[in-house]
Amino acid sequence: MRIAVIGTGSVGRTLAAGFTRIGHEVVVGTRDPDATKARDAWADSDLTLVRLAEAGRDADLVVNATNGAGSQAALAEVGADALAGKVVMDVSNPLDMSHGFPPSLFVVNTDSLAEQLQRAFPEARVVKTFNTVTAAVMVDPSRAGGESTAFVAGNDPEARSTVVRLARELGWQDVLELGDLSAARAMEMYLPLWLRLFQSVGTPMVNVKVVHGG
């Protein structure tokens, strides 16, 4: 699969490397490839950097790994035409850092960042996933210390299935589909709890496991 990862921070780098490791053809979209490559974090990377306007052109799947506040603008540079018909795997969170740490959320309860992106790019097939774990766990679920649960939500069942398959390729055994994209509201609102778990156990390598009877 040809995957375009939008976002050059730790999440974007980690996901791009993870997808490359399992055999996919990956590019990473950025506004300025030369400036990105000059960063210390990218000095030893073999990942292919391209401009945002080029990133989605030939991709089968686009990953939004940007800061949530800048997600819509970044995807606009990728282009609505380039996103049309494609699965957009959204791993971002609507974090508001304006009042320091811990952050609040700039959209809650009756809407979500994922739904905002779907409305902004109606021809894309947005699927929310991986926003409830840290980057290292996204690509290696064993880092959380045992089997745990990844969540998936999206309006298009075929798009959800594509993301589920990709998660399983990365090693996720327990992938729980939560239905349409409105489920992203709860997934994004989980972040305050995740931050408390992180602080309580002293490591971001933490996740939850859904268990049920009957």
Residue 207 lies in a domain: no
Show contacts of 32-38: CB within 8 Å, 24+ apart.
36/8
Residue 214 lies in a domain: no
Neighbours of 108 (CB within 10 A): 13
What distance in Å separates the CA atoms of residue 14 and residue 107, rounded to the nearest whole number? 26
Residue 212 lies in a domain: no
pLDDT of 100: 87
User: pLDDT tier at 25 (50, 70, 90 boundaries)?
Assistant: very high
Residue 54 lies in a domain: yes
Residue 119 lies in a domain: yes
pLDDT of 107: 96
Residues 109-133: tens digit of each pLDDT: 999 999 999 999 999 999 999 999 9
Residue 206 lies in a domain: no
Percent of all residues in the chain with a pLDDT value above 90, rounded to a whole number = 95
Spatial CA neighbour of 90 closest among 27, 30, 159: 159
Amino acid at 75: L
Domain, as residue range, for 45: 2-201
User: pLDDT tier at 101 (50, 70, 90 boundaries)?
Assistant: confident
Please tell me what DSSP assigns to residue 47.
P
pLDDT of 18: 98
Q: What is the mean pLDDT of the chain?
A: 96
| Alpha carbon 198 to chain centroid, angstroms | 19
How many domains are contained in the chain? 1
What distance in Å separates the CA atoms of residue 63 and residue 87, rounded to the nearest whole number? 8
Residue 111 lies in a domain: yes
Residue 138 lies in a domain: yes
Residues 172-199: tens digit of each pLDDT: 999 999 999 999 999 999 999 999 999 9
Torsion sign over Cα 27, 29, 35, 38: negative
Residue 171 belongs to a domain with what CATH number? 3.40.50.720
Residues 139-162: tens digit of each pLDDT: 999 999 999 999 999 999 999 999
